[in-house]
Every structure is written in C-alpha cells, then in structure tokens.
Chains A and B, each alone.
Chain A
Amino acid sequence: MMDQKQALLDKIRAYEFAAVELNLFLDTHPGNQRAVNDFNAYAAQIAALKQQYERIYGPLINFGFGSGSKCPWQWINEPWPWDVVNEG
C-alpha cells in the first residue's frame, strides 16, 4: 500500500520536475515550439496522475485546487512531506 503510494508520488514528482524545468526554460525562450509541446504533454500527464493519486489517497493541493475531500476532512491527514517514516 505505502509502496504503491510512494511510487505514484515519485512519478508525479518526476513529471512535475520536467514541467518546472520546461517552465523556466520557456520563460526565457517563449518562442520555442518544441519546448511548448513538451510542456503541454507533461502538463496533461501530471493532471491525470494527480487525479488518480487524489482519488485514492486524498487531496495533494489545498484551497480547493485539488480534488474534494471525504468527511472527516482529509487535508489534515498525516504524513506531511517532512515526516521521514513514510513520505518524501
């Protein structure tokens, strides 16, 4: 269970890192069509992966920008990213 959660989170992290890199590159190369295409492809994959993650494990983003919550409110659920035991 925890291994699957970790694996999915690691995958989201990897795709998001690619998107961060492309985002910064595009800030100084806004006319680069290939980088825009790559960014859009990663953005679509990130959205799908996050939806999958949140459906199983609860919200990844606060203030309503992720999926909704079950009751009781899932946002307060541990672990937080700085807790060593299960999470990163």
Chain B
Amino acid sequence: MWLYEKKMEYPVRIKNPDPRMASSVISQYGGPDGELAASLRYLNQRYHMPIPEATALLNDIGTEELAHFEMVGSMVHQLMKDAPADEFKESGLGPWYADHERSTWPAIGTGVPFTAAYFASKGDPIADVTEDMAAEQKARATYENLLDLADDPDVIDPLRWLREREIVHFQRFGELLNKLYEEQDRKKCY
C-alpha cells in the first residue's frame, strides 16, 4: 500500500501567478514525458522483472515519481491559483479556463488529455528498462525546455531539482540494464 506524508519531497513555493507558465509546466504533469506517465510506466513494469533488484528499483522509482507528480501539480496549482480570468484570456488560456477554471488536470497545455499510450509495458525486461532510460532522458530534456521558458526563481528552483532527479534515475536504470544482461547470459549457460 501507499502512505501519504504531509510534506513535499522538495519545497514548491511560487508566490506570483503566471497561467502562461502553468500551461507549459503542466506537460510534466499529464504530458508524454511527464511524472504521471513515469510513475505508471514503472509501477506496471515492476510485476514481471526477473531479478529482485529490478522489481525493487521500479517499485521505488515509481513511488518517487508520485512525489514528483505532486510537486508539478503544486507548481501548476500555485501558478494558476490567484490569476484573474482576464489573465487566462490574455495568455490564450481562455479555453483551459472554460473547461477547468484554475484546477489541475492531467493534460498538456493545449488541452490534450493524458493517455496510457504515453508509456509502454512490453513484458520483456530488457526492452522495458531500455524504454525507462529513454524516458528519463526525455523528461530531463523537457525540464530543460521549461527552464528556457521560466524566469521566476520560485519556478526555476524546483524545475532544476526535478531535472537532476531524472539524471539519477537514468544512472540507476543503466546499472539495472547491465544486471539484466548478466542475468540473460547466466540463463543461457546451463
């Protein structure tokens, strides 16, 4: 089961609303390389891993991604919370406001909703962990794109921290992939 700890993994304290920035950041909430896709990818793949290191790592990174899902959701919430409707309209976000007002929702800023098609669970451990490594790099690239768009230090700080987590996860998945190849070789020589 999961427990909720009443704190962020890393603080998110954005004081100035900016719905336009929210509409970019929300990609890491419900977009193709976002935290929800990451979490669901790993939590689905963990059931069919051949070595205990793999089951544990997918379980644990899948869990940490839920904490990142909360951080990105909090960023979107804080960026929208006190913005007047006019500011949504002026930023071209009238359509978002019409359907969602200031609420978070797993989608990208243009309104395209989250879909399980953003991730795979192939059933083949080497194929799946190779996908996981690419996913971490794509998330890192997305955070770098968001950093190009951000100018508020309150937004930049958590984005930089989240970017660094993608690099650590990539490293761990790389170590895991080597172990999976070793396991494959071991099984071949009876």
Within 61-88 of A, Cβ neighbours of B (below 8 Å) are at 61-63, 65, 80-82, 84, 87-88
Picked from A9, A29, A81, the residue with its CB within 8 Å of the CB of B74 is: A81
Q: How large is the interface on A (under 10, 10 to 19, 20 to 34, 35 or more residues)?
A: 20 to 34
A88 with B13: CB separation less than 8 A? yes
Chain A residue with the shortest CB-CB distance to B2: A63
Residue positions of A touching B, CB distance < 8 A: 9-10, 12-13, 16-17, 20-21, 23-25, 27-30, 59-63, 65, 80-82, 84, 87-88
Picked from B53, B168, B176, the residue with its CB within 8 Å of the CB of A21 is: B168
Which B residues touch A23, using CB under 8 A? 60
- Chain B: interface secondary structure? helix
Does B102 lie at the interface of the complex (its beta carbon under 8 Å from any beta carbon of A)? no
B74 with A24: CB separation less than 8 A? no
Which B residues touch A87, using CB under 8 A? 7
A28 with B5: CB separation less than 8 A? no
Contacts A81-B70, A82-B78 known; list 13 others, CB within 8 Å.
A13-B9, A16-B9, A17-B9, A17-B10, A24-B168, A25-B172, A61-B3, A61-B6, A63-B3, A82-B70, A84-B13, A84-B15, A84-B78
